[in-house]
Amino acid sequence: MMLTNLADILREAGLTVIESDGWKTRGHGKMTSVKSIICHHTAGPATGDYPSLKTVRDGRKDLSGPLSQLGLGRSGKWYVIAAGLCYHAGVVTDTSLYSNANAIGIEAEGTGIPSTDSGHTHWPDVQYESYLRGVKALQKAFNVPTSHVKGHKEIAAPAGRKADPNFSMDEFRAALEGLDAVISIGTTSVFLYITELALRTAHKHAIIIEINPDDTEVSHVVRDQAITILSKLLHYLS
């Protein structure tokens, strides 16, 4: 199968999409299926929106391109590079799920510095937000469960062979799913990925706490005053 609907999927999610010339016929043959989505970072230059495009599209001396179906710029723009199989996963822990033939690869622009497995504060908010929205749209289109959204570092074999992406995949998957409770303080509610996380969590009838003197997009799902909500939270945590 050739994934010729990738650009449409992302645009329908309200994302900005740039299509690389010839992407609909580019790939190392056809995909077998789409069972997983693998998140990467490029380990590329520190400046520019998507300076790694040529490398991801055309490959390196040791590995021919394309190296992933999708790229993600620092501005949150998506680059659609190939519709067919791409060489992004390498040797993996489970070929039935995470091999190149069964996995969509996303190479997001990032230096990979610092090398960390926690948080995402070193990623631009607009890029991280777009990463979440794009992956969520792909999940919906290809019926990929959140448990099959993985970082390259999680599925590469042997363990420790890869370190990308340099953010917490547990946090990323939690944002895709919604949580048992969300506490939004101050300006955090103005970021769309926080708003979407809070609203998804609200749909699960979970606890939503907002500490903000002004109304935001989250405010309408806050059901009680702080004194009531905090007592519920303490009861939940005890």
Mean pLDDT, rounded, of the chain: 89
pLDDT at residue 93 tops 90: yes
Confidence tier at 5 by pLDDT (50, 70, 90): very high
pLDDT value of position 225: 64
pLDDT value of position 224: 59
Q: By C-alpha distance, which of 236, 192, 190, 200 is closest to 221?
A: 200
Q: Give the number of domains in the chain.
A: 2
Residue 1 lies in a domain: no
Residues 102, 72 within the same domain: yes
pLDDT value of position 222: 66
Our CA angle for 178, 73, 177, nearest 5°, is 10
Q: Cβ(216)–Cβ(210) under 8 Å? A: yes
Q: Cβ(28)–Cβ(87) under 8 Å? A: yes
More confident residue, 210 or 123: 123
The predicted model gives 114-139 an average pLDDT of: 91
CA-derived radius of gyration, the chain: 19
- Indicate the range of 26-30, 58-62, 165-169, 218-222 predicted with least confidence: 218-222
pLDDT at residue 91 tops 90: yes
Which residue, of 148, 175, 202, is where some domain finishes? 175
Q: Write the pLDDT tens digit of every residue in 31-78.
A: 999 999 999 999 999 999 999 999 999 999 999 999 999 999 999 999
pLDDT value of position 194: 73
Q: Cβ(102)–Cβ(148) under 8 Å? A: no
Burial class of residue 207, CB neighbours in 10 A (0-12, 13-18, 19+) = buried
pLDDT at residue 122 tops 60: yes
Q: In the Cβ-directed half-sphere of 236, how many Cα atoms lie within 13 Å?
A: 12
Residue 229: domain span? 179-237
pLDDT value of position 216: 80
Q: By C-alpha distance, which of 93, 23, 31, 34 is closest to 56?
A: 23
pLDDT value of position 236: 56
Residue 89's domain is classified under what CATH number?
Answer: 3.40.80.10
pLDDT value of position 209: 76
Rounded to a whole number of angstroms, the distance between the first and last alpha carbons of the chain is 50
- The whole-model pTM stands at 0.79
The predicted model gives 204-219 an average pLDDT of: 72
Residue 217 lies in a domain: yes
Q: Cβ(70)–Cβ(39) under 8 Å? A: no
Residue 231 lies in a domain: yes
